[in-house]
Structures are given as C-alpha cells and as structure tokens.
Amino acid sequence: MSEQVEAHKAVALKFLTQAHKGEVALEDLYTPGYVHHNEAFYPGLEPGFDNFKRALASGAGGISDLQVRVDHLIGEGDKVVARFTLTGRHSGTFQGIPATGRVVTFSATDIYRFENGRIAEGWAMMDFLAFLRQVSDREGGQ
C-alpha cells in the first residue's frame, strides 16, 4: 500500500478517535472548502469547513462520554472508507431527538476524499434506526 494512502488513513483515524475529545484540531484534518454530501445527516448544510464544524459540534453534543471503535479502515487512491461503532450517553439533543439519558451504541460509515493530505469531501451514513430503537420508550434502553 502506498505511503500516501497510509497517511490518509492516519488522518481519518485521528478524526475518528481524537477529534471528538478535542485532542486534535479539525483545521489540521480538513480543507477550508470541505464539502459534506449527506443532506440527511446535516440538513441544509452549506459547503465549507466552518459550516461543517458547526454542524458536527451541534450533532456530537448530544452524545456524552463518546467512545469510538474503528471496525474497518480501508484506503485506495485519494479515498478512505471507515466503518466504526459509537457508544455514549444520549445526554442532549442528537439528530433532533431530545436527551433520554440512555446509553446508545450504533454504527456508522464514512467515506473521505483527500486533497493535499487533508479531507476535502465526505459522505456519512449512520445506523439511525439502531439509535432510535435504543432511545424509544418501547425498547426501554439502558
């Protein structure tokens, strides 16, 4: 595998495992013109890093004590695909769902495209149904 692909994977891994803890600055990982292509995950998100950063902060704020386990990290050319599992307490509004205080675990998959060693485009998909089942009154959660 090329050194460039390995470097891209290292950047993706930093984002997934360190950014939510404030251990690495997002500015070091993303291009200023970053474009996020998942309208459902961040409705109405305009292109640009600053808009993505605000959306990420507002979305992640609903899950405290967040732990991320990277299950798969695959790179080829200028892209990296990550499948990961998130676990944390639903302590604030997340994806429009008010806090329940329950511990939730769900998976997500991101695709990152790189330019000059930083993430320039991204696509994200999370298992929202798994999250909803865990915060639903019918399921009881934890």
Q: What is the pTM of this model?
A: 0.86
Q: By the 8 A CB rule, do 119 and 79 touch?
A: no
Q: By the 8 A CB rule, do 106 and 133 touch?
A: no
pLDDT at 93: 84
Q: Residue 96 and residue 92: Cα distance in Å, rounded?
A: 9
Region of 16 on the Ramachandran plot (φ > 0 left; ψ -120 to 50 alpha; else beta)? alpha
One digit per residue, the tens of pLDDT, for the chain of length 142 reads 699 999 999 999 999 998 877 788 899 999 988 888 876 566 666 777 887 787 777 666 688 888 999 999 999 999 999 999 999 999 988 878 899 999 999 999 999 999 999 999 999 898 989 999 999 865 554 4
Phi and psi at 36, nearest 5°, equal -105, 125
